Chains A and B, each alone.
Chain A
Amino acid sequence: MRNLFGHSAFRNPSVLIGGSILLLLLAVSILAPLLTQYDPQAIAPRFRLKFPSDEFLMGTDMLGRDVWTRVVHGGRVSLLVSAVVAIIAISIGLAIGLTAGYIRWLDGPVMRTMDGLMAIPGILLAIALVSLSGASLLTVIIAIVIPEIPRVARLVRGVVLSIREEPYVEAAVGLGTPTVKILIKHILPNTIAPLIVQGTYICASAILVESILSFLGAGLPPEIPTWGNIIAEGRAVFQRAPWIILFPGGFLAVTILAVNILGDGLRDTLDPRMKKRLGA
């Protein structure tokens, strides 16, 4: 907690580089309507598959929609999905992890259920959830969140189990401090650093999973552009109009790169123990 907003994190070059790239991408997405002159959904068959030009910065797709417009609008959705997924997955995973780690008799059943969820390949679960309940923003987010929860829960439970052995926690228990207070005061703060790091990885993975869902035809509908479904739609014409894939693909790769760099940097400064475990 102490060094969360301290300058050590902000002096780390990885955090600086990753963070600035992300801020830039975020700014572009938020300002999307100002940066584009077309409607991301408007179809103009006359302008199908145009090569990038002054008029269409990144060319047009099969329906004559401006790729640049779709890419920046798609960025809003992709970034939103990844952030929301990370927040929800961490909140739920945190609650489950704390419960399982601290309340002994719940540990077994809760963790077995988590194991069961983990045993189902995340991608398959997500495909099934989305195609079975209809592709909307909400279902896509839920579908990406569910497979992430057990991982967060496991991480938190691990932290809880190690912290509750610490003398100061045992002392607090001995003094009759209420469970909720112990959880909030002593245990929660210790989970924050690893969770921030985990959160960045979830963000990166959410963007990738969303693109995989789109690729398999189980992603968001085309009227909500995301980098994933722009790429998925463009793949049929990859060799003829590679710009439809390469531009959103480039944005997607740079974002994941930035998030990963940021995550690595945060891990180095926030959580030296994890650095040892997961690599620099």
Chain B
Amino acid sequence: MAAIPVMGVVAIFVFLLLRLSPGDPAAILAGDTATIETIAAIRADLGLDRPIPEQFITWFGQLVQGDLGRSVLSKQPVTTLIAQRVEPTLSLALCTLIFAIIVAVPMGILAAWKQGSWLDRGIMALSVAGFSVPVFVLGYVLIFVFSMKLDLLPVQGFASLSEGLPAFAARITLPTIGLSFIYIALFARITRAAMLDVLGEDYIRTAHAKGLKDHVVLVKHALRNAAIPIVSVIGIGFALLIGGVVITETVFNIPGIGRLVVDAVLARDYPIIQGVILLFSGIYVLINLAIDIAYVLLDPRIRY
């Protein structure tokens, strides 16, 4: 596993990026009308006046012990702040993935099965369109139609599953649909391509020749073998999700990790930025590992 050097690269890169950039958390903490002396005193307290290598060693030493530090502004531990925000982001990401798979995989199979038909072309046209609409424009339109005009769903916010499924579903539905578009487009294309690949293989023809029904061939033989590219794209999709999550959280006012890190960047709250980026890259590494394992499970030909 190359996870450790990867995380090391991320850690050093992020640290340097933050420290070598302009902006002063102490000035932000002190506020707009604060005097120069107050700001200097706060800088000293935060240790920002020490040399960068020294700051790095301190930070890295804590990191190795699992301590991500505390937010400059709120003084809360970064781990607490992240923990508070995990549920909304994870809910949104999972709902989006599941919804996109449920919609896109059948679309892709249909398109491949009826290759060249109007249905195929329609599905593919839709999927290109899905790539083209910025997620925030989609979000505003969804809110305008479903919340303001039709009055069906709440405008904003997040409800934890612990507050009951109805409350949870009411608030997660619009963000999920908005964020899903691009993934439906992506997954449908990949599914179609992978299915076409497999449908051309000899054993599928054999299966047809044996007189097996269409749906048996499609699901039992073709889909199983097409699963590998689909799974790997879903993995890549997760990494892409993070960008969309940041936007969707803003539009629908969902208190997730995306907002946490964007706010932290804008406020130069270094410990939060470092913590969240490390977390995301850790998840990325884990997902890649999971995909590798999925390969082995799905395809007996691959052995490590």
Contact = CB atoms under 8 A, between A and B. Distances in A.
A272 B101 CA distance: 27
B133 A116 contact: no
B10 A119 contact: yes
Interface residues on A, range: 35 or more
A192 interface: no
A121 B242 contact: yes
B131 A215 contact: no
Contacts of B265: 124, 127-128, 131-132, 218
Interface stretch (A73-81, A93-101, A250-258): A250-258
B229 interface: yes
B55 interface: no
A134 B22 contact: yes
Interface in B124-173: 124, 128-129, 131-134, 136-137, 140, 144, 148
A222 to B, nearest CB: 17
Given A116-B13, A132-B18, A235-B140, A253 B132 contact: yes
A71 B23 CA distance: 32
Nearest to A256: B132
| Band of interface residues on B | 35 or more
Contact of B129 (A119, A211, A257): A257
A215 B280 contact: no
B5 interface: yes
B190 A133 contact: no
Given A127-B265, A257-B132, A280-B192, A132 B247 contact: no
B17 A132 contact: yes
Nearest to B282: A119
Contacts of B148: 239
Interface of B: 2, 5-10, 13-14, 17-18, 21-23, 124, 128-129, 131-134, 136-137, 140, 144, 148, 189-190, 192-194, 196-197, 229, 239, 242-243, 246-247, 250, 261-262, 265-266, 273, 276-277, 280-281, 284-285
12 contacts: A116-B7, A120-B10, A120-B13, A131-B266, A204-B132, A215-B136, A215-B250, A216-B262, A217-B266, A252-B134, A256-B132, A278-B189
